Amino acid sequence: MTGPSKVAVLGAGHAGPVIARLAVAAGYPVAIATSGDPEDIALITELVIPGARPRWAADAVADADIVVLAIPLHRFGAIDPGLLSGKLVVDAMNYWPASDGVLKAFEDGGSSEIVARRLAGSTVVKALNHIGYHELEDRARLAGAPDRRAAGVAGDDPAAVAAIADLLDRIGYDPVRLDSLRAGRLLQPGGPVFGAVLTLPEFERAVRQEAGSLI
């Protein structure tokens, strides 16, 4: 090991700062970036995400072991897949037409599967998308806390899933591994755990009940 994994969070809207704060609190070196000049988010970072470093997206990604995509899905098309090539990418985005409008490219199938097809050079897992940004921080608990909740991670690459399960555990959730991106559809809007903040047994039960529909 060469020290803890470095995390780059792309997006400084609602979800990005919350994820970045949780990662800082868990001891990760964290960079945060938008599509623009890091100077634009310097004040935000200093006051709202103390401990994180605002950077240009390309620099943040180049140095990162884990890249979290926390941008609106309709902006995903503006991301250069080459930028993320070779990286472990956490897709924290959602396709949520009721809230964000209809995107034709995402009308059919699991949104992370579609993201992964475009990011063919990256290893994509789905996580951090199904708990609301306004709750993600408030519900985080140390391991063993009686009221700790569960968070899912789905992906086709077992090592990547394991790495992000470890990250979820460190930021305050009992990780639940789903062994394919396709199974990550269970974490999407309309799925059994989306928007609900469940304990581990509740989460596993909810996922098990609906898993059959994906096979």
Catalog residues that contact another protein under the rule CB under 8 A.
12-14, 17, 41, 43-44, 47-48, 72, 74, 96, 98-101, 103, 132-135, 137-138, 189-190, 194-197
Cβ-based nearer residue to another protein, 79 or 88: 79
Cβ-based nearer residue to another protein, 85 or 209: 209
Nearest approach, Cβ of residue 74 and another protein (Å): 4
Element (H, E) at 58: helix 57-63
- What is the C-alpha to C-alpha distance for residues 191 and 80, in angstroms, rounded to an integer? 29
Cβ-based nearer residue to another protein, 202 or 204: 202
Nearest approach, Cβ of residue 174 and another protein (Å): 17
Cβ-based nearer residue to another protein, 63 or 138: 138
Nearest approach, Cβ of residue 173 and another protein (Å): 15
Distance of CA 133 to the CA centre of its chain: 11
Nearest approach, Cβ of residue 123 and another protein (Å): 27
Nearest approach, Cβ of residue 90 and another protein (Å): 18
DSSP conformation letters of 111-158: HHHHHHHHTTTSEEEEES-SS-HHHHTTT---TT-TT--EEEEEES-H
Cβ-based nearer residue to another protein, 60 or 193: 193
